[in-house]
Amino acid sequence: MTAQIIDGRRVAEELRRLLRERVGALNAAGGSAGIGTLRVGDDFGARMYRGAVAKTCSGLGLRSRAVDLPSTAGREEVEEALQSLNVDEGVSGILLLRPLPPHLEEASLAERILPHKDIDCLNPANLGRLFGGRRAWPPATPAACLELMERRLAEQGVPAAEGFAGAHVVIVGRSPSVGRPLAAMVLNRHATLTVCHSHSARAGVLVEICREADYLVAAIGVAELIRAEHVKPGATVIDVGINEVVECAGCGRRVPGLVAEPADVTQVCPACGGLLDGSRRVTVGDVAFAEVAEVAGALTPVPGGVGAVTNVMLARNAVAAAEMTR
């Protein structure tokens, strides 16, 4: 292994230490910060994220308030819940957890979040500011990516004022939660930018484009899509993906797509023909870690990379919002 492993947990702890100092100063001045979450339905990922946010708040001395609604909740009920968080003086930041049930439109609900409490940049007004290069609360996951990338720049001796000038950043994925806002954020820092997506992969140009990247961000939600052949020697690789796969007990191959319990499904390993079940579940990113580590200059692991920093970015926005309105 030649790549430097970017330890997201260490970075997160450094950021938490700085945030605790700011929270202490805020409290001493009579202010307070807190995060309110709104979850509609019982999505497992949303439930886990809510718990992680509450844990982060507890560790920093921030208030957390969770509002949970059934999946049958209508738009009016959700809007009322958002308004209750808007008027709560103990909540400086609001997080609308995704995914929402199909009958609810995210964009129209996001408009109901007060812009100064919109700490994950869902409100179209804040998105417009972000894409226009103006000040806005950055979305938590793209902000975590950028934090890790800028630390890598600093290690390479690049002055912060220069940003990514002269560097080619390739983002694989164009989701509204990661790829698109991150594209705006690196453009605002003078990067040369290319965004790839599923159609890029089908066109057969993904390897060629990715190999031009000085900074390669994988955020497409496909387990271990990015292989060594995609990576320019010495590039920095940021892995945003979180995917569950099953590791074959016979040959060790990792097979995505098995989500049911072992008793509910039988699946055959495409490599050796052995039977798979859910007893060997493994969490992996969008990057084939072991082989890419032999080529990249620096690489984030999964878990312990971007995800470890994301919740701290959310808390940092909530603290900044409280400081601004104190």
Q: How does pLDDT run across 59-68, given as a tens digit for each residue? A: 999 999 999 9
**Alpha-carbon 32 to chain mean position:** 26
Contact status, residue 285 vs residue 218, Cβ threshold 8 Å: yes
Domain 26-119 CATH (choose: 3.40.50.10860, 3.30.70.100, 3.40.800.10, 3.50.50.60): 3.40.50.10860
Q: Is the sign of the CA dihedral 252, 257, 259, 265 positive or negative?
A: negative
Residue 261 is predicted with a pLDDT of 46
End-to-end CA distance of the chain: 49
What the block records as the tokens of 204 is: 């057969």
CATH C-level class of 140-242+285-309 = alpha beta
SS3 288: coil
Query: Do 147 and 306 meet the contact criterion of CB atoms below 8 Å apart?
Result: no
Cα–Cα distances (Å) from 34 to 51, 53, 117, 177, in that order, read 14, 11, 10, 22
Task: Print pLDDT tens along the chain (326 aa).
Answer: 689 999 999 999 999 999 999 999 999 999 999 999 999 999 877 888 899 999 999 999 999 999 999 999 999 999 999 999 999 999 999 999 999 999 999 999 999 999 999 999 999 999 999 999 888 889 999 999 999 999 998 988 888 778 899 899 999 999 999 999 999 999 999 999 999 998 887 778 999 999 999 999 999 989 999 999 999 999 999 999 988 787 777 666 776 655 444 445 567 777 677 777 655 778 899 999 999 999 999 999 999 999 999 999 999 999 999 999 87
Question: Where do the domains of the chain lie?
Answer: 26-119, 140-242+285-309
Each residue's pLDDT tens digit, 240-259 = 998 878 777 766 677 665 54
Place of tokens 């390897």: 207
Domains 26-119 and 140-242+285-309 agree in fold: yes
